[in-house]
A and B are shown apart, each in its own frame.
Chain A
Amino acid sequence: MITLTINGKEVHTPKGSTILEACQQNGIPIPTLCYDPDLRLAGSCRMCLVEIKGRPLYAASCVTPAENGIVVETESPGIVAARKVILELLSARHKFNCQVCEKNGDCKFQDYCYQYGIKESRFIYGEATNYGINDPNPFIERDYNKCIMCTRCVRACEEITAARAINVENRGHHAKISTAFDGNLADSSCLFCGQCVMVCPTGALTSKVSAGLGRAYEVDKVLTTCSYCGTGCTLELNVKNNRVVGVTSNRTATGSPVNKGALCVKGRFGWDFINSPDRLTTPLIKENGQFREAGWDEALDLVAKRLGEVKNEFGPDSMAVFTSARVTNEENYVAQKFTRAVLGTNNVDHCARL
């Protein structure tokens, strides 16, 4: 264990911890923008700066090791002044339209501006950034006028999804997140998994599918398992007025042991079928070329009867069963058991083999 002093209090932390981790373990709040425990460290937003006695420079606590005997101040006047300047610098390039922003109420940048009382920026000189919002894709809204360049999206794209669709282009104040040759996401290696949306601390990256349907504080989050495939990813259905209005990630190890919040395009953006009027909610039986609604007992009886008739007339090998990767291993097992033991044929296959 390592012993250090934070804000006048002696605290202990395991060897190898950063100062940020030592603070988190001891309930000392530190603001962070670029830090994400699941991503490679950047140390670049400088919000988590702390003062270490005897060192001339402020240290980014997310990347600075906790050492025995160091004396750390997390909210000294100098640190607060530095955080204010950083927030004001970001405010000078950030488009504030919180009243219509999807992230209102769930935005780290907004929270810190509130916490540090940033009513206006002293550094609005010259032109503000003015990037267009024009990426014609059905899923991800990219509004880089709200981007604070934390690069969490770049790291998530590379490290979680390994798509490497986006990176930083240009230098200095003109640096911005971009696909190769600054094209559309659809023309890049983007898989529209939305991991970038998951990690974005501001409203720069949001879901187009959920746009306008409800803010984070208006929805109940219902933890469930994605029904699209057998992987079994955990996700949170965002429910407002008894309707699903979005999907967000649960990133905890206990809440999301399979996928740690990572989802694919279907799980994150493909939920609008739930309330679709085209959705089948009862079995249909076709009679004289027309479908009619039926109950489950009637439908299953009909299927059993017809399968029996086909088997008697043409033999079991006249039938085959194909199963799907959308169902679980257990369901696939039952399907092949049914095919072999009930239908009596080995004609069984699975789409994953194709």
Chain B
Amino acid sequence: MTEEKRIVLRNADLINPKKIEDYMQAGGYQGLEKARLMSRSDLIAEIKKSNLRGRGGAAFNCGLKWSFVPTDAPVSYVVCNFDEGEPGTYKDRIIVQKDPQSLLEGMAICGHAVNSKQGYIYCRGEYPYVVELLNLAIDQARGKGLLGDFDIEVRMGGGAYVCGEETALIESIEGHRGEPRFKPPFPGVAGLWAQPTVVNNVETFANLPSIVLNGPEWFAAIGAPNYPGTKVLTLTGDVANRVSIEVPTTATLREIIYDFGGGIKEGKKFKAVQVGGTSGGFIPESLLDTPIDFDSMRGIGATLGTGAVFVMDETRDIVDITTRIAKFFEHESCGKCNPCREGTFRAYEIMKKINNGKAVAQDIENLTILSQVMEKACLCGLGQAAPAPILTTLKHFYPEYQARLQIH
């Protein structure tokens, strides 16, 4: 049986998150100290070698992302994506609430690697109480002179899901409408205020102190070789234990649901699990032995995404759940690009028709072609991922759709 392995949450519940002294005593800021003795290129090479991949959902190689920042850039920024808008995801909040200094240290390590003097934490608008803790932690780190000439500011989001997309997040920090930019240019070249910018997720940053301190080989040996390390997962839905856990990326969905989640509550049978948040695919029983690493998940048409694990038991109505998800995307589409603005709206309309038992086979065909186009044609990840729940439920749970159709 797979056991929990704690890297990101190594200090969770062992230290007082409001006391930087506790963090220091637990080995805090030694990673940053070691990083500062390295040259910028050596540090980036180390992170590349560790094969740490982004924990926000896209799984881009972290060191590679940093290397896009031009070495001669006079100004660059480090931005932490703490928007955490995926329903069912709360891993970043857990990380920050239990060990805020770990995030700050990770950001400072990145700051050294890309020669940045200023970091921003873009915090989800629904987490005002976490902002207080973060500001306290920043004050403490600043007061001890640990951040050196690197400073960190917390910015609050306004509640828009799309602002978790890195370029929309940047637009929001700049004070504009939260709408994604087209890429290229990527933020590494022209991001915040058109300067080179590294945007990483909370969990990615929180991994860095341990990687620098223990070396890239140590990290690369943990979990799946192509997506090494651990992943913090949040279990929600019909599991006996709705908990957050940190496991090596070799853990399978079955282990997570049955060993850590304690199986389906009230002795019911499993029906489906959605991994990665609202934009994740639905996974049936037959694929539960898939490991959670990014590539294995992608292999079955799912995403690891944010690591939200939403379990549904046999009594749950897949069509109804998918309709609710479609409503979520209809509400959260920013409206910039045609296929997402109009597509999420029409997908919700069609799902409602199916859910109300008024649809015919042609409606499902329309929904399918719409979803297939959105996946490839939308401007940003929101529109590209919005059809995933529809397409995966159509694939794995088609009889439930069929049962709703009008017979002609």
Contacts and interface: CB of A to CB of B under 8 A. Distances in A.
Contact of A168 (B182, B335, B337, B352): B335
Nearest to B346: A123
Contact of A89 (B333, B334, B342): B342
Interface in A160-189: 167-168, 170-175
Interface stretch (A44-52, A132-140, A338-346): A44-52
Contacts of A122: 366, 369
A43 B379 contact: yes
A87 to B, nearest CB: 9
A159 to B, nearest CB: 15
Contacts of B369: 81, 85, 122
A22 to B, nearest CB: 16
The interface residues of chain A, by DSSP majority, are classed as loop
A58 interface: yes
Interface stretch (B73-81, B251-259, B266-274, B370-378): B370-378
A58 B366 contact: no
Contact of A125 (B332, B333, B350): B350
A65 B184 contact: yes
Contacts of A78: 376
Given A43-B379, A65-B184, A81-B369, A149 B338 contact: yes
A89 B339 CA distance: 7
B346 A92 contact: yes
Contact of A174 (B335, B338, B343, B376): B335
Nearest to B336: A44
A255 B350 CA distance: 49
A90 interface: yes
A64 B185 CA distance: 9
Contact of B342 (A42, A43, A63, A93): A93
Contact of B373 (A82, A92, A126): A82
Contact of A173 (B333, B336, B337): B333
Contacts of B337: 43-46
Count chain A CB atoms within 10 A of each CB in B177, B330, B338 and give the residue with the most. B338
B335 A56 contact: no
Given A58-B377, A172-B331, A85 B344 contact: no
Contacts of A45: 337-338
A306 B370 CA distance: 81
A226 interface: no
A86 B332 contact: no
Interface string B153-183: 0000000100000000000000001000010
Interface residues of A, number: 38
Nearest to A51: B376
B365 to A, nearest CB: 9
Contact of B377 (A49, A90, A170): A49
Given A46-B377, A65-B184, A85-B373, A148 B349 contact: no
Contact of B177 (A46, A86, A168): A168
B49 interface: no
Contacts of B344: 172-173
A68 B330 CA distance: 39
Count chain A CB atoms within 10 A of each CB in B349, B376, B378 and give the residue with the most. B376
B5 interface: no
B333 A172 contact: yes
Contacts of A310: none
A46 B336 CA distance: 10
B165 to A, nearest CB: 14
A329 B370 CA distance: 60
Nearest to A60: B182
A149 to B, nearest CB: 7
A70 B362 CA distance: 37
B392 interface: no
B353 interface: yes
Interface string B25-63: 000000000000000000000000000000000000000
A57 interface: yes
Nearest to B343: A89
Interface string B199-242: 00000000000000000000000000000000000000000000
Given A64-B184, A81-B369, 20 more contacts: A42-B182, A43-B337, A46-B338, A46-B377, A49-B377, A57-B376, A60-B182, A82-B339, A89-B343, A123-B342, A148-B338, A149-B338, A167-B177, A171-B333, A171-B334, A172-B332, A172-B344, A173-B341, A173-B345, A175-B335
8 shortest A-B CB distances, which residue pairs?
Answer: A175-B335, A125-B349, A173-B345, A43-B182, A89-B342, A172-B333, A126-B349, A85-B373
